[in-house]
Structure 1
Amino acid sequence: MTRTSVIIGGGIAGLATAALLAEEGDSVTVLEALPATGGRAGSWEHDGFRFDTGPSWYLMPEVFEHFFQLLGTSAAAELDLVRLDPAYRVYSADAAPLDVVSGRAEAIALFESVEPGAGARVDAYLDSAADAYELAVTKFLYDPYSSTEGLRDPELVRRLPQLAPLLLRPLSSLIDSKFTDRRLRQILGYPGVFLGGSPYGMPSLYHLMSHLDLDDGVLYPRGGITEVIAAIQRLAEARGVRVETGARVTRILTQAGKATGVRLQDGRILRADHVVSTADLHHTEMELLDESERTHSEGWWKRRTPSFGAMLLLLGVRGELPQLAHHTLVFTEDWKANFDAIFGKNPHVPDPASIYVCRPSATDDTVAPEGFENLFVLVPVPADPDSGRGGVDGAGAPAIEAAADRVIAQIAETCGIPDLAERIVVRRTISPEDFAVDLSSWRGNALGLAHTLTQSAVFRTRNASRRVSGLSYAGGSVLPGVGLPMCLISAELVVKRLRGDSTPGPLAEPVRATG
Structure 2
Amino acid sequence: MSKKITIIGSGFSSLAAACYSAKAGNEVTVYEKNATIGGRARQLKKEGFTFDIGPTWYWMPDVFERFFADFNKKPSDYYELIKLSPAYQVYFGVKDFVTIADNLPEIVKTFEQIETGSGKQLENFIKEAQSNYDIAIKDLVYRPGVSPLELITIETAKKVNQFFGNISSDIRRKFKNKKLIQILEFPVLFLGAKPSDTPSFYSFMNFADFGLGTWHPKNGMYSVILAMEKLAIELGVKIYTNSNIEKIEVENGTAKALIINGEKIISDVILSGADYHHSESLLDEKHRAYSEKYWNNKTFAPSSLLFYVGFDKKIQNVEHHSLFFDVDFDVHASDIYDNPKWPKEPLFYASFPSKTDENSAPEGKEAGIFLIPLAPGLEDTEELRNVYFEKIITRFENLTQQEVKNSIIFRESFCVNDFIKDYNSYKGNAYGLANTLLQTAFLRPKLKSKKVKNLYFTGQLTVPGPGVPPALISGKLVSELIEKNS
TM-score (norm 2): 0.97
Question: Per-residue CA shift, 1:482-501, capped at 9, x if unaligned?
Answer: 11100000000012212339
The code of the aligned residue for 1:402 comes to: V
Match of 1:184 in 2: 180
Q: How far 1:138 moved relative to its partner?
A: 3.5
Q: How far 1:145 moved relative to its partner?
A: 2.9
Question: Could you tell me how far apart the structure 1 residues matched to 2:230 and 2:139 are?
Answer: 31
Q: Which runs of 5+ in 2 are unaligned?
A: none
Report the 3-state secondary structure (helix = DSSP H, G, I; strand = E; otherwise coil) of the residue aligned with 1:261. strand
The code of the aligned residue for 2:244 comes to: R
| Cα pair 1:40 1:439 within 8 Å, conserved | yes
Within 5 Å, give how 1:247-396 maps onto structure 2.
247-264=243-260, 266-285=261-280, 287-345=281-339, 347-384=340-377, 386-388=379-381
Match of 1:203 in 2: 199
Question: Per-residue CA shift, 1:33-68, capped at 9, x if unaligned?
Answer: 011011111101111111100101111111100110
Question: Could you tell me how far apart the structure 2 residues matched to 1:153 and 1:178 are?
Answer: 28
Question: Could you tell me how far apart the structure 2 residues matched to 1:119 and 1:154 are?
Answer: 31
Number of residue pairs matched by the alignment: 485
Within 5 Å, give how 1:54-93 maps onto structure 2.
54-93=54-93
| Cα pair 2:342 2:378 within 8 Å, conserved | no
The code of the aligned residue for 1:362 comes to: K
Structure 1 range deviating more: 230-239 or 449-458: 449-458
Q: How large is the RMSD of aligned CA atoms in angstroms?
A: 1.5
Match of 1:393 in 2: none
Question: Per-residue CA shift, 1:335-390, capped at 9, x if unaligned?
Answer: 21110111122x222232111111100000001011100011111011125423xx
Report the 3-state secondary structure (helix = DSSP H, G, I; strand = E; otherwise coil) of the residue aligned with 1:398. helix
Match of 1:427 in 2: 411
Q: How far 1:146 moved relative to its partner?
A: 2.9
| Cα pair 2:341 2:378 within 8 Å, conserved | no
TM-score (norm 1): 0.92
**Given the superposition, is the C-alpha separation of residues 251 and 386 from structure 1 closer, same or farther in structure 2, using an over 3 Å criterion?**
farther
| Cα pair 1:306 1:442 within 8 Å, conserved | no
Question: Per-residue CA shift, 1:235-271, capped at 9, x if unaligned?
Answer: 101111111111010111111111112111x210111
**Given the superposition, is the C-alpha separation of residues 294 and 76 from structure 1 closer, same or farther in structure 2, using an over 3 Å criterion?**
same
Q: Which runs of 5+ in 1 are unaligned?
A: 389-396, 502-515
The code of the aligned residue for 1:50 comes to: T
Question: Could you tell me how far apart the structure 2 residues matched to 1:344 and 1:332 are?
Answer: 21
The yes-or-no answer on 1:453 pairing with 2:437 is yes
Question: Could you tell me how far apart the structure 2 residues matched to 1:94 and 1:167 are?
Answer: 38
| Cα pair 2:169 2:196 within 8 Å, conserved | yes
| Cα pair 2:145 2:464 within 8 Å, conserved | no
Q: How far 1:128 moved relative to its partner?
A: 0.9
Within 5 Å, give how 1:99-118 maps onto structure 2.
99-118=99-118
The yes-or-no answer on 1:483 pairing with 2:480 is no
The code of the aligned residue for 2:50 comes to: R
Question: Given the alignment, which residue of 451, 455, 467 partners 1:471?
Answer: 455
Within 5 Å, give how 1:96-175 maps onto structure 2.
96-147=96-147, 150-157=150-157, 159=158, 162-164=159-161, 166-175=162-171
**Given the superposition, is the C-alpha separation of residues 148 and 308 from structure 1 closer, same or farther in structure 2, using an over 3 Å criterion?**
closer
Report the 3-state secondary structure (helix = DSSP H, G, I; strand = E; otherwise coil) of the residue aligned with 1:384. coil
Question: Given the alignment, which residue of 387, 400, 403 partners 1:402?
Answer: 387
Determine what percentage of the aligned residue pairs are the same residue: 32
Report the 3-state secondary structure (helix = DSSP H, G, I; strand = E; otherwise coil) of the residue aligned with 1:463. coil
| Cα pair 1:146 1:497 within 8 Å, conserved | no
Question: Could you tell me how far apart the structure 1 residues matched to 2:49 and 2:177 are?
Answer: 39
Q: How far 1:213 moved relative to its partner?
A: 1.4
